[in-house]
Structure 1
Amino acid sequence: MTLCLFQTRTGKASHKYAPSASGTWHLSEEVIFLVFQRLNWNPKSVATLSCVCKWFDDLAKRVLWKEFCKTRAPKMMLDLQSSGSHSVDGNWRALGKLLIYCSGCTKGGLFNSIHVPGHFVYRTRFSRTSGKSFLLPQCRTDVLYVSDPCEHLDQGEEGDIGFFRGIFKSFATSKVRKMLIKREAQLHPTEVCPYCKAKLWSMLQAKMVPASASCRLGAYEDAIEYYVCLNGHVLGICTLLPLSDSEEASDHKGKKMIKVLGLFYVRHARHHCH
């Protein structure tokens, strides 16, 4: 980060204070950087600072949210920037919010389901490997990070609901975006991304939700819907399988794998005997 050197009222160089657009004097970027570094880039403190004035809001968007993202998910951030970009699709504040905020849904809104209030989460794991399960085979060279589902249980007739979110790397050049355009997918007429306010494509409407997504989420195959915005942010909902059903499915897969490995061992042994 380039640290700015500002002038005090007396004209002497100072690292401590900087002028704002209103003519008042603020602490410089260097001092604020050190303060928030000490606070370990606490997102609530960053959000509070950004509400003070335009200068602080700009600093938070350019520097503080970026440092928060790098601290919260360092490997993911390195990967997202490895294409040579010094920024991410959307902006750092939107990505910071995506890392820690489950958007929920409103009845008659994006998912036209039930009302589940959005809320902040302490920590969520995002996985590039899981992201492959949400892509059609012809798009699996794209890089997509997807979170574990945020579980909201006993939602009346809807049962157990899970919300998931994610982000594409270099979405503007992704195969998913090209396929959405090729299939003439329509942007949602009213709803926008809760993280960056960009327009949204429905992956379900474009018939681009693979069956592998339900296995990854532990959800019913016909009860998954997700959207991707123009900046590559993903948000989705699913109806989760009952725990017993999930365990049975997992056990079935485990037995099948043991059987395959057993056949491999027998064939391998026969080959060496001959």
Structure 2
Amino acid sequence: MLVKRSHCIHSGSCICTNGHLSETVLVLVFKSLNWNPRTLCSVACVCKWFEDIAKRILWKEFCLSRAPKMVSDLLSGGSHGTIDGNWNALGKLMIYCSGCHDGNNICQSNSIAGHFVYRTRFSRTSGKSFLVQQCRTDTLYVTDPCEHLDQGEDGDVGLFRGIFKAFGKSKVRKMLIERQVELHPKESCPYCRTKVWSMVQANMISRSAYRRLGAYEDQIEYFVCLNGHLLGVCTLLPLSDSETASEEE
């Protein structure tokens, strides 16, 4: 006697055999898990249906739970409740430091692997420091540098990331286009896989960014992608004796 298999009703190519829970139930389940990102990533890999609901709903709810004020502000610059890039890219930006590689001018001697971070603060006030004077009306959220101890003598490395509000309408994007800055031939955004502009090449790194990061003036580089994600690296200034003593207490 042949037994008829009950395939997933949402996708003909789905490996699931018993159908799926409703979207509402899934949202409640992940809410009870405090939107655990590792579990969310695992579930999104199950099949096309889970991947779709993760992109449309689960990652959006994750972002709202982690940074409600920032996400609400980002949404106010878009249309129809959308955001530049996509929700899983923003979720990854919130919890993942992408590292840097040997080809980078600052990470010359040692590559730094990407890694998850437990919690990150994004600051709109800090973002102003990264904008040249002509673009100060733009809104940019930036993290504090994620510090990595240097194995040589060049100084500790700081990695930072951020996101523009309504990047398509921003003065930064307009200036990049007006200056005919070419997209980087090799680098791409680790969060949404789009091409990036080098802000060093565009000569659009504000001097106030060095002070905000606590970095050497000639040792900072960052990129902005087509969706407005920012990723950067710098060499951090050494702590003074008083700052070192304060940390050890």
Q: In 1, Cα distance between the equivalents of 2:173 and 2:198? A: 12
Equivalent position SS for 2:103: coil
Q: In 2, Cα distance between the equivalents of 1:223 and 1:160? A: 11
Q: In 2, Cα distance between the equivalents of 1:140 and 1:152? A: 30
Match of 1:151 among 147, 151, 158: 147
Structure 1 gap ranges (5+): 1-8, 10-17, 248-274
Return the structure number with greater helix share.
Answer: 1
Deviation, structure 1 residue 170: 0.2
Q: How many residues align?
A: 231
Structure 2 gap ranges (5+): 1-5, 244-249
Q: CA RMSD in A?
A: 1.7
Deviation, structure 1 residue 175: 0.1
* Residue equivalent to 1:255: none
Equivalent position SS for 1:192: coil
Task: Identify the range of structure 1 (145-154 vs 100-109) with the bigger mean alpha-carbon deviation.
Answer: 100-109
* Residue equivalent to 1:228: 224
Return the structure number with greater strand share.
Answer: 1
The question of whether the paired residues in 1 share the 8 Å contact of 2:99 and 2:114 is answered with: yes
Match of 2:136 among 120, 134, 140: 140
Q: In 1, Cα distance between the equivalents of 2:179 and 2:114? A: 32
- Call closer, same or farther: CA 1:179–1:47 in 2, change over 3 Å: same
Q: In 2, Cα distance between the equivalents of 1:194 and 1:84? A: 22
Match of 2:162 among 166, 169, 174: 166
Deviation, structure 1 residue 155: 3.2
The question of whether the paired residues in 2 share the 8 Å contact of 1:218 and 1:246 is answered with: no
* Residue equivalent to 1:21: 11
The question of whether the paired residues in 2 share the 8 Å contact of 1:109 and 1:191 is answered with: no
Q: In 2, Cα distance between the equivalents of 1:49 and 1:80? A: 26
Structure with the greater relative contact order (CA < 8 A, sep ≥ 6): 1 or 2?
2
Q: Percent identity?
A: 68
Equivalent position SS for 2:29: helix
Larger Rg belongs to: 1
What TM-score results when the alignment is normalised by the length of structure 1? Answer: 0.81
Deviation, structure 1 residue 200: 0.4
* Residue equivalent to 2:71: 77
